[in-house]
Amino acid sequence: MNTIGKILVVFVTASSLGFLAFVTALRNGGLDWKGELRSEELLKEFVFTMEPGESVTYSAKHRRTDTSVAEKTPIVADVVLKSRKKLEDETGKKLQELTPQVQPLQDFLALQKKLIPEDEAGVQVRFAKIDERLQQISASLKEVGSQFSATTIQTQDVLRVASERREEAYRLANQLEILRNDKFAASQQQNGLADELVRLEENRRRLERRNEQLKQQLGDDYSGD
């Protein structure tokens, strides 16, 4: 927070020197008033308006608050001086607001500096624990990677065996379909042979009946050959 205090001191000193230079130039009568209206320092905070007419007038408004700083006047120096005065008052007010905050911040910074060694030791311990944990995680990841590789190989073997078994199942299914077709053809053939057997059996019985009839008709002269 020493830096903030230094910045405030430099800022106030620069503002004071600028205002002093402004007053000195004013006393010497060599200040370019219209040029002051175009200065970056004033244009950053104020809006200047020039109204032409029989008597040219100038006025100024604050940019942030949109309040009037200098009413219409034909005297450019009056507008510049009031704007400078407004800027100086705001700078002083800002300084008064910030000055009481410097010492508490400096005290807080001093306290934090005292705690730095303890915090650093704690950070180092925490860092060591985190590093150890990271090493454990790294070792676990390597182990998991090895297991994953082994599982991948096993999975590929299982997939290969499954593929071979699927192909064997397709082959057996084709053979089963062929056997079913053969069984159906054999069944059809068996049915045909059964019908033929029935027909032959019927013919045999018919021939036997005919043979009996002939024996009865011819008697002992029928040889049966």
The pLDDT value recorded for residue 28 is 46
The pLDDT value recorded for residue 133 is 87
The pLDDT value recorded for residue 196 is 85
Q: Is residue 61 part of a domain?
A: yes
Amino acid 139 reads A
Domain count, the chain: 1
The pLDDT value recorded for residue 38 is 83
Q: Which residue is associated with the tokens 């949109």?
A: 66
Which has more confidence, 152 or 18?
Answer: 152
Flag whether pLDDT at 121 surpasses 80. Answer: no
- Contact indicator for 212, 222 with CB cutoff of 8 Å: no
Which has more confidence, 198 or 7?
Answer: 198
H-state helical runs in the chain: 2-28, 33-37, 40-43, 76-218
Structural domain of 115? 2-122
The pLDDT value recorded for residue 105 is 75
Task: Give the three-state DSSP class for 179.
Answer: helix
Q: Is residue 40 part of a domain?
A: yes
Span 108-122, average pLDDT: 74
Residue 165 tokens, joined: 């078994």
Taking CA atoms, 89 is separated from 10, 84, 94, 158, 185, in Å, by 17, 9, 8, 87, 118
Q: Is residue 213 part of a domain?
A: no
Q: DSSP string of 39-90?
A: -HHHHTTEEEEEE-SSS-EEEEEETTT--EEEEEES-HHHHHHHHHHHHHHH
Task: Provide the CA 132 distance to its chain's centre, in angstroms.
Answer: 29
Q: Is residue 58 part of a domain?
A: yes
Q: Is residue 135 part of a domain?
A: no
Span 132-136, average pLDDT: 87
- What's the rounded Cα separation, in Å, for the pair 134 and 147? 20
Q: Is residue 103 part of a domain?
A: yes
The pLDDT value recorded for residue 21 is 54
Q: Is residue 38 part of a domain?
A: yes
27 — pLDDT class (breaks 50, 70, 90): very low
Range with the poorest average pLDDT among 42-46, 119-123, 145-149, 208-212: 119-123
Q: Is residue 207 part of a domain?
A: no
Residue 27 tokens, joined: 């006393």
127 — pLDDT class (breaks 50, 70, 90): confident
Q: Measured in Å, how far apart are the chain's first and last C-alpha atoms? A: 145
In tens, the pLDDT along 88-100 reads 888 888 888 887 7
